[in-house]
Amino acid sequence: MTRVRMVRPEDFSPELKQLVGAETLSSFELGVIRGYANCPEIAAGFAQLAASLVAGRHLPARLVELVRLRIAFSNQCRSCMAVRYPDALDDGLSEGQVCSLERPSEANDLTDAEKAAIKYGDLMATDHLAIDDALYDELRRHFTEYEIVELGMVCAVFVGFGRLAATWAMVEELPDRFQGEGTKTPWGGDVIVKRRYATAETLG
């Protein structure tokens, strides 16, 4: 059972309700924002940050989603692993590529740029001090300085807020394979396609 109170969308502050388009999204699509809504001013700031990371994106949506899902696996954030975002699917993300996240360095269906970004995200989640000059040199073979900084910022959000969500144990609305004990994976079964907050569209 979820460990913090999930605020009902109709009880969101007026500012937050407008920012995220609460009337147009399901409770599941609103996700963790329902927990953040216990602190409405902070929740509004988070929604704006999340939207700006989409509106200002230079990295491919598919690449960002692959990094997000690999970090979600490290975090064991079940609510993160269970969802796919439509912009990534529109950018060509397949469940076969998600399955490749089990051993991304060996995958034939991931680009060298995707492998480098996933490696960076994986270390951000598991051993951030192991990120060294050599890895940044590798990133620079594939990405601009803007994109490298963008990658770092989205990874920081995925690691930190994903760990928070994992501690909240938001599993009631998830497919059966994300229930119960043991390690879960983002690959291997039912998932849910989730629209982003409305702010991501209005800022984009």
| Mean pLDDT score across all residues of the chain | 94
pTM of the model: 0.95
Q: Which long-range contacts (CB under 8 A, 24 or more apart) does 25-32 make?
A: 25/195, 25/197, 25/198, 27/173, 28/173, 28/192, 28/194, 29/194, 29/195, 30/197, 31/79, 31/83, 31/170, 31/194, 32/79, 32/161, 32/164, 32/165, 32/168, 32/170
Of residues 26 and 4, more confidence is placed in 4
pLDDT in tens, 84-101: 999 999 999 999 999 999
Domain ranges of the chain: 9-203
Average pLDDT over residues 22-34: 91
pLDDT in tens, 120-142: 999 999 999 999 999 999 999 99
pLDDT in tens, 38-73: 999 999 999 999 999 999 999 999 999 999 999 999
Domain 9-203 class, CATH top level: mainly alpha
